[in-house]
């Protein structure tokens, strides 16, 4: 287990479009493990590779405790509806804001073992996945949010 430093807003790595992962091998799995550990340590519900300074298309997410998803080279195939989400981000500590996201998404990609996976997510799960996916495009929730507020300590 190794914790990685989480990059914060202002660092240009958060603004780049990430490149695909060539192959899900032991090195990629080690990074995914580190990302999961780092997400847990920071008490987040998701973490994308650029947030630890890796410009690769992958993220981890844990929308409900104990339910961990690893997505490598994810693609959002379709979206449906709208929902209003209150979001924060480990790379923008101390703030939250309101974002309109799809209510439902169809997403596919590779899993931790390099196998194809495909899900339909709704509600909170769709919210988390869309937020993490945006990181791979260099997009932060604050770009889309209105009503950004500083959290009380
Ligand atoms: Zn984020």
**pLDDT of 19-56, one tens digit each?**
999 999 999 999 999 999 999 999 999 999 999 999 99
Alpha carbon of 8 to ligand 1 centroid (Å): 10
Residue 152 has pLDDT above 90, yes or no: no
Q: What are the boundaries of each domain within the chain?
A: 12-150
Closest by Cα among 69, 51, 48, 62 to 14: 51
Residue 1 has pLDDT above 90, yes or no: no
Catalytic member of 103, 132, 137, 152: 132
41 is catalytic: no
Q: What is the pLDDT of residues 88-140, one digit of tens each?
A: 999 999 999 999 999 999 999 999 999 999 999 999 999 999 999 999 999 99
The CA distance from 145 to 19, in Å, is: 25
Q: Give me the CATH code for the 12-150 domain, please.
A: 3.90.45.10
Alpha carbon of 102 to ligand 1 centroid (Å): 17
pTM, 2 dp: 0.97
Alpha carbon of 97 to ligand 1 centroid (Å): 12
Instruction: Identify residues whose C-beta is under 5 A from ligand 1, the ion.
Output: 89
The CA distance from 79 to 110, in Å, is: 19
């Amino acid at each position: 287990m190794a914790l990685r430093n989480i990059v914060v807003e202002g660092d240009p790595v958060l603004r780049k479009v990430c490149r695909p992962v060539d192959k899900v091998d032991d090195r990629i799995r080690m990074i995914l493990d580190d990302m999961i550990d780092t997400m847990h340590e920071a008490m987040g519900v998701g973490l994308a590779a650029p947030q630890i300074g890796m410009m690769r298309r992958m993220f981890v997410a844990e929308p409900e405790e104990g339910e961990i998803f690893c997505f490598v080279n994810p693609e959002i195939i379709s979206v449906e509806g709208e929902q209003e989400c209150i979001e924060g981000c480990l790379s923008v500590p101390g703030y939250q804001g309101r974002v309109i996201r799809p209510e439902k998404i169809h997403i596919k990609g590779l899993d931790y073992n390099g196998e194809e996976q495909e899900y339909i997510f709704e509600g909170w799960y769709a919210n988390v996945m869309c937020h993490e996916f945006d990181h791979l495009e260099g997009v932060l929730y604050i770009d889309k949010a209105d009503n950004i507020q500083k959290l009380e300590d």
